[in-house]
Amino acid sequence: MKIIIANSSPDPIYEQIIKQIKTQIISGELEEGTALPSIRKLAQELNISVITTKRSYEDLEREGFIDTVAGKGSFVAVQNKEFLREKRMKIVEEKLGEAISEARMLGLGIGELKEMLGILYDEEGIDSFPENEKEISNV
């Protein structure tokens, strides 16, 4: 598990922790059944308040990402593949929502936005090609 707390972030610390653990669970870096550090241990390691880490774990548990067993600690919950896919879809929707509201402020229409999306979608694909292929396809 990897957690980086940014003091400059506008997000409160408990949210930064939630986001990073969620991302690692969704991406599979944190596998099902992996034991998480205790609330107090994590607070000590990160030099933050126990109440902060407690809140992060409680929220993660409520959303079904982790299970807490009294006396044993917290573990990455068994993830339903559908559930994970839905979560990731939701993230895509959220990000698109942000892009749309920015576009509205600029007065961009749906046509222009779609065109922009098309171009970016293709470019994103090219980025994952090896370097030489990318050059060829750019020509």
DSSP letters along 28-60, please?
A: TSS-TTPBPPPHHHHHHHHT--HHHHHHHHHHH
State the Cα–Cα distance between residues 35 and 33, nearest whole angstrom: 6
Residue 89 pairs in a beta bridge with: none
Whole-number minimum distance, CB 133 to other proteins, in Å?
45
- C-beta of 49 vs 80, nearer to other proteins: 49
CB of 16 to other proteins, least distance (A): 12
DSSP secondary structure letter of residue 78: P
Closest distance of CB 78 from other proteins, Å: 28
Residue whose CB is less far from other proteins, 22 or 55: 55
Whether the Cβ atoms of residue 24 and residue 53 lie closer than 8 Å to each other:
no
Interface positions, 41-70, toward other proteins (CB under 8 A):
41, 43-44, 47-52, 55
Binding mask 17-46 for other proteins (x = CB under 8 A): -----------------------xx-xx--
Per the listing, tokens 């409160």 go with 12
